[in-house]
Structure 1
């Protein structure tokens, strides 16, 4: 390794090097060449930026308003310039967030998008792959809305013919079979209609209260009906369709005037108004509602059932009835 690291000349005089040593030597030489080229590239960028700064030709980013050399900028189809770092952050929020995956121009009022060549040149591989994945998912959802079915247990999407009632989840971590219409597991549904399955008090009430517990955590978009789950951030939730809603009262909103504007201690109620709070802990809010619904379900079943059936139902009611909630 000492010979390889210091690139000793006399180590090359050996003509009968073992294949493994020769392979290591070639690998090191290739890496050294790549490192040298990268250092030259960074030096050229720095010299170029110094020349831009000296001549007063740095370009202002339309998003963060920092000044950069032209080589560090990217542009939309209409020519609006932004720094590459802003585009990476914008794309990361778009593809991993709950909003639209479409990367439209960050310039206000510009309807253009970013060319694919610009995205492939700027975005890291993981963000670019997720962007293509989201684009394909939204295209399928838009064109095959009637055939797109989501597993009631893990929310995994799949296409299913309209005539098919049995839905076999293709998610390798789930693989559960359920009814497309009533979402009951297929082993409890075989040979029966949805009405006959739901006639059983245990199943009907379990499904009812599990749906209520799920609804306590999942918010439905007031415009497109997409399920939204909050893990962190403020109570102004945005959907990929472009609409906004309040996480607490679930009403459609536009700006921040819907929320309380008075100063107060974190977590303390406002003494001046009854508006929703902009910042609350979603875990505490949802767990409290879910526990109330669970207790109500246990009490309701105790009135109608007795013995083993009641115990079975109560044990299956949990604060997290579906993996979709996580």
Structure 2
């Protein structure tokens, strides 16, 4: 019989290992660990599959409504025509069902559970946390949370699970906050024992084991709960981050060991190279050369030079914007005009210690300055460095059917009358109109000012067709913003909401002050709604509403005009005030509002540094047609109808 050597030390490391051996000796079944590499089939009920399919369709049709609204409606409606019935209810009485539950932004979820379409800012899809849960998943989550949060009551755990759609990933943070406020948790802290698991090492379903290739590193595993979906969720939440961290640590240790071994072998063989900046000796793998003079520079000098250019004063001397790379900085007798290849700079900044973020910041700054120097019309994302060219598409005439349909259905009444008049005149003056159109076309192509007017009109039409919603296509940002006010887009969106409130307050205050009267004795302010123009204050002071002069008891009603006017109107015999005649309050309010608007625009324009922002704010509040000329309005309508 072969001898089997016994392992040194104890057979078990903790009490759990001893219980595992005792269970195996008793002949009981040992629960295996979850392996994500093996396919696990999850039985889904047919009705649950239909519910999730209906939920996904509704989320795609109504992307601005929270999924919980659809879940409530789908559960209260029979199986027949679920999607059609819910859609009809939302289109007719959305306020009754939604009750303000709109999507106002991305919820704080795990990145791994987000679909690619929602991460890129496209139409949202059904996330696993938003779908209907099976009964097996609910029971498994409840049992795991009961075992993990023993200091909380079962009713509190069930309530949190119901609020978070029975999702373990979303319920656990809420339960952790409740556990820290529980009186049981406070008493448990007196004995120095934590009753709430915060990490993977303290979770009851996480088992640590030692793998054969790495005997000194403990690897976590998930004890199966009976539901593959929950097992995978626990593995993604607790095990995968630890494995990724351990993998990065092993790679960093292997890289450091390989680098040290390479340097030692190169030093023994005399194969070190001298850096022409710091005059240090490094290996061949740590050297970059410029593309012209072949000056040798080490990776450390490249990193220090790039960081000095980003955070110091050496940007203009270090970076070449035409080639989008770093200039050679070797201290030669004559300044070297060559550059370091961009791929070598990227390789020098690729190792850890924040160098990858340095490369991203270097690329972002070079791109931003290049776009600024290009003098192109750009549409920028207000939340990141993303920008795209705001190009006006080329003009393309519609066919005569499309032009006629546009004029008949979408054009203003004034434009329709003008077009019909022109068509009537064209029957009589066809040749002069053709000549006039030809002359206008020639003048627009010969004279730059006239062509600029047509180009500006076409640009306004293009912007109105595109709308105000701007989508950032940067995968890191992917936010929706408003092209007019540069604010985060929220449905329903209102441009310059704060500024509009300020402007509205200024206009309303000025309009009120224009028709307001104040008693000079007690300083009581009031506005006349009806009656004569003789006003008597509570303090006894009497004044005229029109001229604001005091009316003494001796003067009385003789302050007002006493002549008879059969046809009404202004008295032609005296200049006294009218007793019942009102002043032109609408004109006074209009003048006060215009003056307040001008003052507000001047103040906001001076504060912002340019008048463009104030102009956009005023247009968003009072409308663009009020500030634009009628020629621009008619020209825009014609361009919108003629050009496709």
TM-score, normalised to structure 1's length?
0.41
Higher helix share: 2
Tell me: higher relative CO, structure 1 or 2? Use CA pairs within 8 A at least 6 residues apart. 1
